[in-house]
A and B are shown apart, each in its own frame.
Chain A
Amino acid sequence: DTEVTQTPKHLVMGMTNKKSLKCEQHMGHRAMYWYKQKAKKPPELMFVYSYEKLSINESVPSRFSPECPNSSLLNLHLHALQPEDSALYLCASSQVVPPTRDQYEQYFGPGTRLTVT
């Protein structure tokens, strides 16, 4: 099973709202990622968690707050977003140290389409 699930599929929020995006995987992966993707652009890395600890923050504004409560779950808390934050938010997971080098690939969820009004 190589499934990563994300909820909700769509989210519309105002600039003063607080909302959360959720991601779950049951592949035993200990690295999890948040990416942001604008239309017709490639995914851009936001955060990386390794063994439930934040290991990379790509200078993301503080209105985005990640959380990794356990090895299967990843959240992205949103507060006071701007219209330019509207995008597809993708979660991914991978092995941290795979048994063979052919297992470093990341598996992506279907994404959450976020619209900020």
Chain B
Amino acid sequence: EDQVTQSPEALRLQEGESSSLNCSYTVSGLRGLFWYRQDPGKGPEFLFTLYSAGEEKEKERLKATLTKKESFLHITAPKPEDSATYLCAVRVGATGRRALTFGSGTRLQVQP
């Protein structure tokens, strides 16, 4: 069975304190790993897509990396506005199934 596990469940950082969020996956036939940011009561906002082990993508203070078993979302010098839930999702299997399987998310709080 395909599984996506995110850790930690919650993370509290001081402003400027860099850290990493983890997304480990056990799937058959990975067709893409996606990172989303979700603010309370709103829809997920797309951040990154990763496809191959060794791939890295960056956007402002965020950097996503991918290995054969896990992905990391590195947050460098976070600011309070980075506070949100970060969701990892995978797209697996045959091209006929286009749905995403989400991890349970990491709730990030950045304090000033």
Q: Identify the A interface with B (CB < 8 A).
A: 2, 4, 6, 31, 33, 41-45, 48, 50, 55-56, 88, 90, 92, 94, 96-97, 101-102, 104-111, 113
Residue with the greatest number of chain B CB neighbours at <10 A, chosen from A44, A45, A113: A45
> Is B100 a contact of A106 with CB atoms below 8 Å?
yes
Chain A interface helix/strand/loop/mixed: strand
CA distance A101 to B42 in the complex (A): 27
A90-B44 contact in complex given A48-B98, A104-B31, C-beta closer than 8 Å: yes
A50-B98 contact in complex given A101-B32, A104-B49, A104-B91, C-beta closer than 8 Å: yes
- Some 6 contacts from A to B, beta carbons below 8 A apart, are A42-B102, A45-B100, A104-B49, A105-B46, A106-B34, A107-B46
- Total A-B pairs in contact (CB under 8 Å)? 62
Q: Identify the B interface with A (CB < 8 A).
A: 31-32, 34, 36, 41-46, 49, 51, 87, 89, 91, 95-100, 102-105
A104-B45 contact in complex given A45-B100, A48-B98, A56-B99, C-beta closer than 8 Å: no
Contacts of A31 in B (CB 8 A): 98
Contacts of A90 in B (CB 8 A): 43-44
Chain B's closest residue to A45 (CB) is B99
> Is B97 a contact of A2 with CB atoms below 8 Å?
no
